[in-house]
C-alpha cells in the first residue's frame, strides 16, 4: 500500500506527516530537551528538527511525546550563552524558546489526536555539538520572521528563498554510487512526492542507477533504483499546487503545474517506487528519455488506445485496465488530490447472498454517482438551472484527499491527522459501514464519492482496525472499530474477493466503458457532460480557473490550496465514445464460407459436420499465430512481367491464381509447382482476383473499368461486367453478391441472379446499390459474416457500411494519404487499415474510435491479421510480424526484392503466399 513505502525505509517515529501541509523539513541536530522542577533538572535526548514553519523535537525515549512548536506561535527565540560556575565547569549554551502553544504528538507512543497546550511556556534545548547553537538560532530567527509576515505570499517566497539557498549550497554526493565504475549522466534539484508531503533533494541518474539524495537525509541518506529493474515510467503534472521557479532575481512564479516523473519497478502495482517533482521541464524530460531509451527491458510507451485494444480483446482485466487509465490520466497513489479512482460497481449491500447474475445487483455505470438517485438529482438540477455562471451540478468531487483518507484512516491514521490538523473526523462521519457509505452516496446532499483501488485489491487491512486506534465513539455509544461489511461477506477478505469478482463480472465488463466515458472520456466535459449530468465545480477541472489572472498572491495561493483539497478531475483520455468490451456473450465469431481462404491441408469438406471442428480450427489458428515467427519460404516463382497485384487459391488448394500489372491472370499448380495457364482480358493492368465458392470461376478486376469472369474448367473468359467510370481497384464476394470498389469514388453492390456463368448476358447482374465516397476507393473488404463492409479511400478515409441497408455506420479520416488495405478482425469488432503514411490504424467498429495507431518504419502495402497479430508486407520487401497489443515488431522476415504488394493466408494460417513488385510469388510454410 502506498502509505507504507516511505515508512518501510525508516523505523523513526518522526514522519514528514508531522509537518503542516506545504512545509519543508530542513535539518536535524542531536539535542537535549531540558526540563526543570523544584527538585531537579532533567535532560531528554533526541533529535531537534528545523522545519520551515515549526520546530520538532523527537525524543529517543518512546514513552516521551514528540514536541512540535509552530514558529508563528513563538514570541521569543534566544541564544543563551555558556556560563561558568564557581568550579570552572562550563554550562552548555542553549536555545530558549518562549511560545504560546506547544503541540504534543504520539504521547506514550500511541497514534492519537494531537494535544495542544495553549499557554505561554519557555522550552530549553541544548545541542550536543555546542558550537552549532548560535547558527541554529540564527536560522530559527530567519524562519520565524518569515512565519510572522502578514501576507501568505511573502511567507512562502521567503521560505522558498531559504530552500533555494540550501539546495544551491549542496549537491549529490557521488561517494554514494553503488560502483566506482558508474558514469553519471546528469543531476538536478527535485522533490520526492509522497502522500500529502514533498521532500527536496538532488536526483542523479547514471548508466546503472537512479539516485535520490534528500536534503535532510530523510527517510534515508540515498534512495537507489536500479535501472534494469524499471518497468514503467510516466510523465506527471503534480497537482495544481504552487510551484516556485527560482531565477537569479528570486522571482517567484506561482500557480504553474509541477513537472513530475513516476517510476515503477512492477508491471501491475499501482504504487510506484519513486515519484519526483522537477522544477524544470527540460530536466524532467531529459531523465525520462534517457531512462526510456537506455533500458533494454523498458516497455513500449503505451497509449490509452493501445491499452484499450488489449482490454477489449481480453488481454487486460477490468482492474488492470482501470489502473492503466488512471496512470495515463495523471492519477498517482503518491498524490492524494489525484489518487486513482475506481467505480462503485455493486448496488446491493443488504442481501444475505450476492447474485451476480441479476442486473439489479449492480450500479448503473452509465450515470455519475450524483445522478443515481432521481429525487436528489432533480433538486440538484433545479439549483443548477438557477445558478449564475460558472454553474455546476455537484459542489463536491468524486475523489479528493479527504475521501481517500476517509477510506484509509485505519491504515493511514497519521495522514488523516496531518490533513485535519491533528484530529480525526467525528466518529459518526467516519468510514463505519460499507452499506451506510453507499446509502449516503445515494442520498447525501454533498456526497458523490467513488471508490479507490484498495476495494479491488488483496489487502483487507484498510477495513480492519488492526492498530486498535481510538477513532472515537458514535452517538449510539459504539466505538469505531472494523468496517461493518454487507451480509453477503463472511469477513473482509471474502468481501474483497467478491468485490473483485463483481468488477470482472459479465455485467460490469459489458458496461464499464460507460463509466470510463464519464470519468476519462468524452462525457467528462462540455455539452456531453451536461447531458450526462456530470458537471462538477470549475475548480476540479484543469484550466477551469485561470489563477494567473488573480493578482493578489495570497488569494492565488488560497485558490490553489482549495484546488488541492477539493479534488481534481483526471486528464481527459478519450474524446469520442469508448468501445464496449468483447465479452464471451457477444463474441459471435462467425466465419465466412471460405471463398478466398480454404486450406488444402484441412478443408471443412473433409471434416464432415463434426461440431467440434470450429473449436479445433480456432485453436489451430491461435497456435499458428503464436508460432508465426517460424514462417519459412518453401519456393519462389517469377511468373509475371510486372508487379503482382492479387492472389487467390482454389478451394482444394491445388491451383493458385495471380493478377499483375502486366494485364495477365496466371494459374500456377501448387502440386506440380509449375505455371499452367495465362489469360489476358485487356491491355491494362489487372488489380485483384478472387475464386468463387464453386472453385470453377475466377473473377478479376481491371484498370479498364471492368470486371472479368474466367471459367477454370473451360479455360476462357465467360463474362464481363462493365460497371465503373474509372479503374476497379478491389473486389469481394459473399454468397451471391459482388462488391466492386473503384477510383470513380464508388463501391457498387451487384447481385448475381444465376448460379452459373454459362451465358454472356449482363442481365444476370443487378445493381443493388451504389455507395458514394468523397475520393477514389482503393480497397474494400467484408467481415466474415458478410454483414459489414469496409472501404478505404485515397484521401485516407475509412468507411464502415451495414450491408443489410447499405447505410454508413462509421466514417473516419485516419490516414494522411492513400489507404492500401483494410480488413476486419475475425470477430468483426475491429478494422485494421494501412496506408501511404506508413501508419497502421485499428478502428473500433462500434464507436469509430481509432483505438491503436502504429507508425511503421516503412510504408505497409498488404497484411493478414487475427485481431492481435499482423503479418504485413512493406515497401522494402520484408514481411513484418507486429504485435498490436504492445505495438512492437517481433520479427522481420526477408522476402521480396521489391515492395510486397499481395498476400494470401490459408484458413488455418499455416500457409502464406506473397507477391511483390519483383514479379515473384513466394510460398511460405509454418515450421512445426
- Higher-pLDDT residue of 690, 694: 690
Structure-model confidence comparison of residues 267 and 421, the more confident one: 421
Question: Cell numbers at residue 773, please?
Answer: 465516397
Q: What is the pLDDT of residues 425-466, one digit of tens each?
A: 999 999 999 999 999 999 999 999 999 999 999 999 999 999
**Looking at the predicted structure, is the pLDDT value of residue 99 above 50?**
yes
- Determine the pLDDT at residue 587: 40
| pLDDT band (50, 70, 90) for residue 608 | very low
Any idea of the CA torsion for 522, 524, 526, 529, to the nearest 10 degrees? 100
Give the three-state DSSP class for 503. helix
Tell me the average pLDDT across 781-805: 97
pLDDT at 6: 45
Is the pLDDT at 35 greater than 80, yes or no? yes
Cell numbers placing 423? 484530529
Please report the DSSP string for 442-466 in residue order. Answer: HH-SS----B-GGGGSS-GGGGS-T
Contact 348, 592 (CB under 8 A): no
Spell out where 352-448 has E strands: none
**Integer-rounded Cα radius of gyration of the chain:** 35
Residues 6+ positions from 671 with CB-CB distance below 8 Å: 654
Nearest to 43 by CA among 28, 27, 64: 64
Q: Name, of 330-334, 545-549, 590-594, the range with top average pLDDT.
A: 330-334
Phi/psi of residue 119, each to 5°? -155, 155
Q: What integer pLDDT is reported at residue 764 of this predicted model?
A: 77
* Residue 167 or 268, more confident: 167
What is the pTM assigned to this prediction? 0.86
Q: Percentage helix, strand, coil, to 5, in the chain?
A: 25, 35, 45
- CA-to-CA distance for 370 and 373, rounded, in angstroms? 7
pLDDT recorded at residue 253: 34
CA angle 627, 630, 636 (to 5 degrees): 130
The matching CATH number, chosen from 2.130.10.10, 3.90.1150.10, 3.40.50.1980, 1.10.1060.10, for 604-926 is 2.130.10.10
Q: Report pLDDT digits (tens) over 331-354.
A: 999 999 899 999 999 999 999 999
Rounded percentage of the chain residues whose pLDDT exceeds 90:
71
Identify the three-state secondary structure at position 498: helix
- The stretch 237-263 carries a mean pLDDT of 49
| pLDDT grade for 155, boundaries at 50, 70 and 90 | confident
- Beta strands at 900-905 and 911-916: parallel, antiparallel or unpaired: antiparallel
Interval 460-497: pLDDT, tens? 999 999 999 999 999 999 999 999 999 999 999 999 99
pLDDT tens column, 44-96: 999 999 999 999 999 999 999 999 999 999 999 999 986 655 555 556 789 99
Q: Is there a common fold for 2-148 and 167-301?
A: yes
2-148 has which fold?
A: PH-domain like (2.30.29)
- Output the DSSP codes for 214-272: ETT--S-S-EEEEGGG--EEEEEEETT-------TT-----SPPEEEEEEESSSS-SS-
State whether residue 868 is helix, strand or coil: coil
The correct answer on CATH 1.10.1540.10 for the domain covering 337-566 is yes
pLDDT band at 401 (very low <50, low <70, confident <90, very high): very high
Say how many Å lie between the first and final Cα of the chain, rounded. Answer: 46
Position 82 scores a pLDDT of 67
Can you give the residue ranges of every domain in the chain?
Answer: 2-148, 167-301, 337-566, 604-926
Per CATH, the number for 167-301 is 2.30.29.30
| CA 362 distance to own-chain centroid | 25
Q: What is the mean pLDDT of the chain?
A: 88
Mean pLDDT of 800-818: 96
Amino acid at each position: 500500500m502506498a502509505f507504507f513505502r516511505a515508512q518501510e525505509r525508516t523505523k523513526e517515529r518522526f514522519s514528514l506527516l508531522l509537518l503542516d501541509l506545504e512545509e519543508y523539513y530542513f535539518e536535524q541536530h542531536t539535542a537535549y530537551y531540558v526540563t526543570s522542577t523544584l527538585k531537579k533538572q532533567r535532560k531528554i535526548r533526541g533529535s531537534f528538527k528545523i522545519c520551515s514553519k515549526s520546530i520538532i523535537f523527537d525524543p529517543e525515549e518512546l514513552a516521551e511525546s514528540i514536541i512540535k512548536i509552530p514558529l508563528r506561535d513563538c514570541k521569543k527565540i534566544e541564544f543563551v550563552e555558556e556560563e561558568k560556575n564557581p568550579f570552572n565547569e562550563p554550562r552548555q549554551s542553549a536555545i530558549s524558546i518562549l511560545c504560546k502553544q506547544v503541540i504534543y504528538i504520539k504521547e506514550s507512543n500511541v497514534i492519537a489526536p494531537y494535544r495542544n497546550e495553549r499557554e505561554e511556556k519557555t522550552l530549553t534545548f541544548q545541542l550536543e555539538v555546542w558550537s552549532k547553537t548560535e547558527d541554529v538560532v540564527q536560522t530559527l530567527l530567519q524562519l520565524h520572521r518569515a512565519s510572522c509576515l502578514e501576507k501568505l505570499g511573502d511567507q512562502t517566497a521567503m521560505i522558498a528563498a531559504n530552500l533555494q539557498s540550501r539546495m544551491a549550497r549542496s549537491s549529490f554526493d557521488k561517494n554514494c554510487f553503488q560502483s566506482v565504475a558508474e558514469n553519471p549522466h546528469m543531476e538536478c534539484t527535485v522533490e520526492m512526492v509522497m502522500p500529502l508531503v514533498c521532500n527536496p533533494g538532488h536526483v542523479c541518474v547514471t548508466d546503472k542507477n537512479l539516485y535520490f539524495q534528500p536534503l535532510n537525509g530523510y527517510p534515508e541518506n540515498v534512495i537507489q533504483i536500479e535501472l534494469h529493474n524499471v518497468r514503467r515510467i510516466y510523465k506527471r503534472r503534480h497537482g495544481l499546487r504552487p510551484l516556485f521557479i527560482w531565477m537569479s532575481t528570486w522571482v517567484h512564479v506561482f500557480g504553474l503545474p509541477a513537472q513530475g516523473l513516476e517510476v515503477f519497478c512492477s508491471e501491475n502495482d499501482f504504487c510506484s517506487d519513486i515519484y519526483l517533482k522537477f522544477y524544470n521541464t527540460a530536466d524532467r524530460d531529459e531523465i525520462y528519455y534517457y531512462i526510456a531509451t537506455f533500458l533494454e527491458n523498458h516497455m513500449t510507451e503505451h497509449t490509452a488506445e493501445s491499452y484499450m485494444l488489449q482490454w477489449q480483446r481480453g488481454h487486460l482485466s477490468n482492474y488492470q485496465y482501470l489502473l492503466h487509465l488512471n496512470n495515463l490520466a495523471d492519477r498517482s497513489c503518491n498524490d492524494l488530490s489525484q489518487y486513482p479512482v475506481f467505480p462503485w460497481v455493486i448496488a446491493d449491500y443488504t442481501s444475505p447472498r450476492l447474485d451476480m447474475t441479476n442486473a439489479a445487483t449492480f450500479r448503473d455505470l452509465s450515470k455519475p454517482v450524483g445522478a443515481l438517485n432521481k429525487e436528489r438529482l432533480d433538486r440538484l438540477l433545479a439549483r443548477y438551472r438557477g445558478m449564475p455562471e460558472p454553474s455546476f451540478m455537484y459542489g463536491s468531487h468524486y475523489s479528493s484527499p479527504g475521501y481517500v483518507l476517509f477510506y484509509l484512516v485505519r491504515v493511514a491514521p497519521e495522514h488523516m491527522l496531518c490533513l485535519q490538523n491533528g484530529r480525526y473526523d467525528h466518529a459518526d462521519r467516519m468510514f463505519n459501514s460499507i452499506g451506510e457509505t453507499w446509502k449516503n452516496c445515494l442520498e447525501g446532499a454533498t456526497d458523490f464519492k467513488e471508490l479507490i483501488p484498495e476495494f479491488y485489491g488483496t489487502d483487507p487491512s484498510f477495513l480492519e482496525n488492526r492498530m486498535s486506534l481510538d477513532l472515537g465513539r458514535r452517538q449510539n455509544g459504539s466505538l469505531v472499530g472494523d468496517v461493518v461489511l454487507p451480509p453477503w461477506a463472511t469477513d473482509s477478505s471474502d468481501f474483497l474477493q467478491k468485490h473483485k469478482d463483481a468488477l470482472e463480472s459479465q455485467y460490469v465488463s459489458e458496461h464499464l466503458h460507460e463509466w470510463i466515458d464519464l470519468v476519462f472520456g468524452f462525457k467528462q466535459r462540455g455539452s456531453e457532460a451536461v447531458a450526462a449530468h456530470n458537471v462538477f465545480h470549475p475548480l476540479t477541472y484543469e484550466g477551469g480557473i485561470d489563477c494567473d489572472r488573480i493578482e493578489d498572491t495570497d488569494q492565488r495561493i488560497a485558490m490553489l490550496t482549495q484546488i488541492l483539497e477539493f479534488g481534481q478531475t483526471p486528464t481527459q483520455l478519450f474524446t469520442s465514445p469508448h468501445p464496449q468490451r468483447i465479452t464471451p456473450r457477444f463474441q459471435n465469431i462467425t466465419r465466412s464460407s471460405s471463398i478466398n481462404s480454404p486450406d488444402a491441408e484441412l478443408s471443412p469438406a473433409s471434416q464432415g459436420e463434426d461440431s467440434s471442428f470450429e473449436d479445433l480450427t480456432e485453436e489451430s489458428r491461435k497456435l499458428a499465430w503464436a508460432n508465426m515467427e517460424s514462417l519459412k519460404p518453401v519456393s519462389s516463382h517469377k511468373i509475371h512481367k510486372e508487379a503482382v497485384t492479387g492472389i487467390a487459391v482454389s478451394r482444394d488448394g491445388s491451383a493458385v491464381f495471380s493478377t499483375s500489372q502486366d494485364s495477365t491472370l496466371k494459374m500456377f499448380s501448387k502440386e506440380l509447382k509449375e505455371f499452367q495457364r495465362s489469360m489476358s482480358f485487356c491491355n491494362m493492368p489487372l488489380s485483384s482476383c478472387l475464386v468463387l465458392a464453386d472453385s470453377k470461376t475466377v473473377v478479376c478486376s481491371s484498370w479498364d473499368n471492368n470486371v472479368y469472369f474466367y471459367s477454370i474448367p473451360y479455360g476462357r473468359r465467360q463474362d464481363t461486367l462493365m460497371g465503373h467510370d474509372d479503374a476497379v481497384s478491389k473486389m469481394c464476394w459473399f454468397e451471391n453478391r459482388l462488391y466492386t470498389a473503384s477510383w470513380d469514388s464508388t463501391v457498387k453492390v451487384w447481385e448475381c441472379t444465376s448460379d452459373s456463368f454459362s451465358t454472356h448476358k449482363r442481365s444476370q447482374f443487378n445493381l443493388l446499390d451504389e455507395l458514394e465516397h468523397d475520393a477514389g476507393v482503393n480497397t474494400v473488404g467484408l467481415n466474415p459474416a458478410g454483414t459489414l463492409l469496409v472501404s478505404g479511400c485515397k484521401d485516407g478515409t475509412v468507411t464502415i457500411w451495414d450491408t443489410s441497408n447499405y447505410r454508413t455506420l462509421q466514417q473516419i479520416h485516419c490516414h494522411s494519404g492513400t489507404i492500401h488495405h483494410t480488413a476486419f478482425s475475425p470477430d468483426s469488432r475491429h478494422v485494421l487499415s494501412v496506408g501511404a503514411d506508413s501508419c497502421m490504424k485499428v478502428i473500433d467498429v462500434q464507436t469509430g474510435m481509432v483505438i491503436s495507431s502504429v507508425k511503421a518504419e516503412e510504408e505497409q502495402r498488404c497484411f493478414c491479421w487475427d485481431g492481435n497479430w499482423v503479418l504485413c508486407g512493406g515497401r522494402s520487401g520484408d514481411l513484418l510480424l507486429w504485435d498490436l497489443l504492445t505495438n512492437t515488431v517481433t520479427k522481420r522476415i526477408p522476402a521480396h526484392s521489391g515492395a510486397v504488394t499481395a498476400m494470401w493466408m490459408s484458413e488455418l494460417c499455416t500457409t502464406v503466399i506473397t507477391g511483390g513488385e519483383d514479379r515473384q510469388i513466394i510460398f511460405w510454410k509454418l515450421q512445426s
